[in-house]
Each structure stands twice: as C-alpha cells, then as structure tokens.
Structure 1
Amino acid sequence: MNWLLAAFAACALTASVHCATGTVEWCYHLPSCNETTWATIAPKFCNGSRQSPINIVSASATGDSSLTAFSFTNYNSNSTLKKISNTGETVKVTLASGVQVSGGGLSEAYDSLQFHLHWGNGSSVPGSEHTVDGRQYPMELHIVNSKSSVNGNTTLALADSTGLAALGFFIEETSSNTTASFAAWHKLTSYLANITEEGQQVDIDPGISMDDLLVGVDRTQYYRYLGSLTTPTCNEVVVWTVFKQSIKVNRELIDLFSKTVHVGNSTSPLMVNVFRSTQPELPVRTQASGSSKGCYSLGLMALSLILGKH
C-alpha cells in the first residue's frame, strides 16, 4: 500500500527514488533502494513481524463471527473522486471528504482518503501485492482509510496499531464486453494520458463513483488480518481487508497502466512492477468459530474470509 496520507506525500529525489517521510529514500527497482534494501534503510518496521503483503492460504482460514458486512458511506456518489495523480510509484486518486467505511469488524468508522493501484507489466505479467494460494492477480486496488476519531491526524494514526484500514481488491482481465465496470474504468483510465509524468495531477470530472469501480464484487466475502504499509517505512498499523472476488476489467485497460505512465519525466522508464513481494507469514491464529455460514480467519494476526453472510 503506497503511503497516501497528505502528510506522507512522497518527495522525488530522482526519477524513481522517493522518500515516504522526507528522510527514507526508497524505490522498487534501483539497486540502492529496491525492496531488498528496505529492511536496512527503514529497519524499525520493514523487517518487523507484521509485514504486508502476504500470501493468503485459504485452507488455513478459520471462523470469526465478528466479521460482519461493511457499510459504505458515499461510495455511491459520482462526485467523490477528486484528483488523479502520478506519484512516481503509482497512480493515486484522492477522495472527497465524507467518504467512509464502517462495520466489517472494524472498531469504528474510518474515513476513506484515497485509493491507488499496484501492477506488474501488463495483463500478461501479474502485479498484485497479495496473493491467494500462491496466485498473483494482474493488479490490486487499495483504498486507504484512517480512523475517523483521529480527524486526519497522521501522528495519532501511526501511533495506533489499527489506525489505518486498507481495503484490497484484486483486478483481473475478462473477455466479456458486457461487464458493468467497463464504463467506469474506461473513464478513469482516460485520465492516464494526462499524468504520464511524475508529479502530474488532474481533476476528475463528476461521473464516476466508488461503487461503479467496484461493481460486481461481493463485498461481504473477504479476508482479514493485521499488517503494515507495503512501502517504507512499513508501519505496522494497518487493518487489512482483502476481498475474495475480483474486479473484472478488460485487457486493454489493464495494459494502459504499464504503457502510459512513467516513473519520472517522459524519457524515464515506464512504471512497471510496482508491488512489494509477499512477506513471511506467522502461524495461523484461530478465533472462535462464527455462524454455520462460515467466517474464516487466517494470517499475521488473524486473516478472515466471510462466506455467505448477508
């Protein structure tokens, strides 16, 4: 999960080297700062015991009746997507205030701040961060949320082991031309041509809602575990929700990300393989069994999948 809170806006040091906090240089691919160096350049958390992403082993899932359905506030509004930007490491969309998620076993409501994406190199080279039973999807969308009670205070969020909540959605290609999400994804990806270089951002016209982008995904079926940011400084403060069902998008739209945006200016490399590898898992922790319909828990601190809850 690229760090998205405003106070943690990445600052460019070179075309593809960035700092998450103003002091830690990191990148995905350069020898001096790629992910093999993160545990050294940001040792407080990046070599910690609660790191994300992970491989989700579905057979190890156990029940948790506290993992109920979510409530999504203003996810149906077509004016909540405000800006789209090229950070040099991802494509990020900033959301308007008033967008929230609650329920789903979260301790309180969380404010949805923004979403960003991780990908490999087109539809043929997968680049999701999380994997399921070893399967890596072409892309992954992360919605980043902060506890409403901290009122956007980054310091408070990072001091709380559950200060952030991330919603992860796999994206995979489909050959169907009737998928309802295509219209919204066509609109969203049409902006990529305006943010080909790092630092560029443009306003998003009304007309796309979060629900439009997530159409077809059963948001009552998900995995849950406690983990971390997936870029330095890898703070272990994230309640992760990874949804079982994927967003279906056609191949051409997936390929646009790796063919359009650059890590720096127009002469720099295209932005490809922008994901962290899966991290070592802790032994499965079993929570009390839920209803007979099944909620399953697995993972770093308990990874859960809700099955058939309404």
Structure 2
Amino acid sequence: MITRLPAVTAVLAMFVVCSMAHDPWNTDYTSQRGPLFWGQRPEFKMCGLGREQSPINIRRSSTIYQDFPPLAFELKSPIVHSNIENKGSATAAFPLSDIPILSGGPLGNRKYRVYNVHLHFGNYSFRAAEHAFDGVRTTGEFHIVTYDSRYPHIKAALGSGRRGALAVLGVMFEARNVSNIDMGVTNLIELSSNVTYKGDHYMTGIDFSNLVSEVDMGYYYAYNGSLTTPTCNEVVQWMVIDRIHYVLPETADLLLELKTGYRREHSIPIFGNTRPLQPLYGRKVLRSFGPVVTDVHDQGEEIVYSSSDLVGPLGRVMLLALAAIATFVIKA
C-alpha cells in the first residue's frame, strides 16, 4: 500500500531537504540528515549505538530518592552580559563576562562554567520539550549547558569522554493562559526572538537570578545521559527541574518566526527542534526530593512519540505546511 502525502506537504518536504542539504545534521524528521538518521552517519554513530542517550521519559513514580543538596549558581552579577545567536538548530545565549558557576546536587563541590542557554520549542498546540514527564511533553524546554571548570574549554570536556564532564540543567515550560507566568522564561524567549535567521546575533544582558528559582534548584531529577544533538557524546550529568514553568501562548509564538537558514536562503522554522525520546537501558533516574505527588503536573492532551512512530515526523511536516500556508495568506 502506498501512502500519498497531500501535495502541499510533499512540496514542502522537498523544499526542506533542499534547503538543509549543506548541513551535516538537522532536526527535521523529513530529512535524511534528521534525528531518525543521525546514528546511520559514521561521524554520529554514538547517536545510534549509545546506551546512555538523551532525552528520556521521566516516569516520576519510578524515580529513586537521593539526599542531594540543592543546586546553586554562583553569580558575580545577576545580569550576565551575553551574545544571543541563532545557530540554525536553536537560539543560544553565550555568556561573555561574569560567567555563572553551577555546583551542588550530583555535582558535589565541582564547579561547572555556564557555556550557553538554549531553547527547544513548539507552540501552543505542538509540544516539543526534549524530556517528558510520565509520557507527556510540554511546549518547550530550555537548557543551561555547563562544563567542568577543570577543563580549559567545552571542547576539551567533550573530548575527555568522561561521564559528568558536562552538566545540563533542563527547565520545561508550557504555553497557557494562566496568571502565574514565569518572567525568567518569558524574558529568555523575548530576547531569543530577535535573532530571526541563522548567524543573526546581538549582545545584551540576561538576568540569571530569575531563570531558575532557589526553590526549583532543590526539586529536580538527575540521570546520566548525552548531548541531544550530534555527536551525542555520553558525557552529560542531567538535572531536570520538577516544576513546569508557564508562559503566555503569544509569548511562545514569538519563536515561530525563527529560521534554520541564513537571511538570503529559503529555510524552514526552527520550531519543533527536539529529538525523539531515548531508551533508558536500565539507567536509574534519581530525584532530590521526597515522595512524588502524581497530580502536580498537568498531563496535557498530547502523548509523546518515539523514533518508530509515524505520527511525529508526519505531524511536523503537516504543521510546517500549515504554517507556510498561514504565512502566505497573511502576506497576501
């Protein structure tokens, strides 16, 4: 049986492949360089062969309590001068001075320098956080990427091959019309929305003091994992904050204009830049707090998909097609 895609979807899929052909990898599920094919490339073989890959589904009732101390950021100044750049696969803020230091929790007394803060996102109706709680993803997730300060730079940390050479703090957010809006995530999204095309960048200050609250730093899950993009190095100590943060739908929609290509190229939106969930393979997921309250998180309506599902890849194509049509109609 031959499945035929709608004409607009097929055209868009061909457009996606052409516009991304020069990149070694991308996050588009219709592309042979997308997440479903990363592990087939020799230079990215860890993405397919690794046994400690990320992201994962965190089944909260199966996590194990560990008496970790709270995580903590050492800030020389609450406002960190940063370069915000569109990298094509995501937007990222790179601290330039007064770089924050992360320690505590599973990191112990080791000090980790912040390398960047970047976003994975969908929109109000398409959830694209990297991790999932109990089988459900949220609208998006931002990552604070750090590396062990014993290494001179992040490349050396990655090259070490040592578990825990990097530590990443993940914070999941949901777009919803509620009153308890998180200003830290809101500000990060607003700042990131200004770099429309790949290579666009500007310098500004980011208020690190309200990105993650002190309370949140005591409530998190921890596990050993990997980068969620090639080369998928298994050197990451992951900490995922338990609380879901909220932003307004119109705030999340600011990110929909961000493109994967350069200004003079035809390119698709970055929207949906998330990797399929990866198997645990017996890994333990630890939590820093007492008994799990199973009804704390809004479970939403959308179930996550794995790399073997057709719903995720085709669903993304359809959404991109609709976005393209909507943009054309608006401009017309």
Q: For the superposition of Structure 1 and Structure 2, which TM-score range results when normalised by the shorter chain?
A: 0.7 to 0.9
In 2, distance between residues paired with 1:104 and 1:279? 24
Distance 2:76 2:290 in 1: 22
Q: Which amino acid aligns with 2:65?
A: G
Q: Write the letter of the residue equivalent to 1:209.
A: D
Q: CA deviation at 1:119?
A: 1.2
- SS for the counterpart of 1:253 is helix
Provide the residue aligned with 2:73 in structure 1. Answer: 72
User: Structure 1 residue 110 and structure 2 residue 112: aligned?
Assistant: yes
Distance 1:75 1:228, change over 3 A: farther
One-letter amino acid of the counterpart of residue 53, structure 1: P
Which aligned pairs between 1:178-197 and structure 2 lie closer than 5 A?
179=181, 181-182=182-183, 184-185=184-185, 187-192=187-192, 194-197=194-197
Deviation, structure 1 residue 306: 1.7
After superposition, the Cα gap between the structure-2 partners of 1:245 and 1:92, relative to the gap in structure 1 and judged at 3 Å, is same
Match of 2:252 in 1: 254
Aligned residue number for residue 148 of structure 1: 149
- Amino acid across the alignment from 1:167: L
Equivalent residue for 2:45, pick from 38, 43, 46: 43
Deviations 1:158-211 (A, max 9, x none): 3122100000000112423463x33x555444444541111111111x3x3122
Query: Deviation at 1:281?
Result: 1.4
TM-score (norm 2): 0.74
> Residue 95 of structure 1: CA displacement?
1.5
Q: Which residue of 2 aligns with 1:165?
A: 167
**How large is the RMSD of aligned CA atoms in angstroms?**
2.4
| Residue 90 (structure 2) pairs with residue 96 (structure 1) | no
SS in 2 for 1:165: strand
Q: Show the counterpart of 1:214.
A: 212
Q: Quick check: 1:84–1:91 contact (8 Å CA) kept in 2? A: yes
1:75 CA drift (Å): 7.9
| Rounded Cα–Cα distance in structure 2 between residues aligned with 1:153 and 1:268 | 29
- Tell me if the contact between 1:150 and 1:157 (Cα under 8 Å) persists in the aligned partners: no
Higher alpha-carbon Rg: 2
Following the alignment from structure 2 to structure 1, what is the Cα–Cα distance between the partners of residues 153 and 192?
Answer: 28
Deviations 1:233-283 (A, max 9, x none): 10000000001012221111111112x111114542222210001001122
Please list the CA deviations of residues 25-78 of structure 1 after superposition, one character each: whole Å capped at 9, or x if unmatched: 11112422111111111113542101000001111112222x211121118611
CA distance in 1, matches of 2:249, 2:149: 37
Q: Which residue of 2 aligns with 1:276?
A: 275
Structure 2 residue 52 is the aligned partner of structure 1 residue 28: no
Aligned partners of 1:223 and 1:243 also within 8 Å: yes
Give the superposition deviation at 1:156. 4.0
Write the distance in 2 (CA, Å) between the matches of 1:14 and 1:306: 46
Task: Please tell me whether the aligned partners of residues 180 and 246 of structure 2 are also in contact (alpha carbons under 8 angstroms).
Answer: no
Q: CA separation in 2, counterparts of 1:279 and 1:177?
A: 34
Could you tell me which residue of structure 1 aligns to residue 303 of structure 2? none
Would you identify which runs of 4 or more consecutive aligned residues in structure 1 move more than 4 Å?
A: 184-187
Distance 2:275 2:147 in 1: 22
8 Å CA contact 2:115–2:154 kept in 1: the answer is no
Assess, with a 3 A threshold, how the Cα gap between structure 1 residues 103 and 125 changes in structure 2: closer, same or farther.
Answer: same
Q: Which runs of 5+ in 1 are unaligned?
A: 1-12, 20-24, 284-299
Quick check: 1:87 aligned with 2:119? no
Distance (Å, rounded) in 1 between the aligned partners of 2:180 and 2:249: 14
Percent of counterpart pairs with the same letter?
Answer: 28
SS in 1 for 2:216: coil
What is the TM-score normalised by the length of structure 1?
A: 0.79
Change beyond 3 A, Cα 1:217–1:35: farther
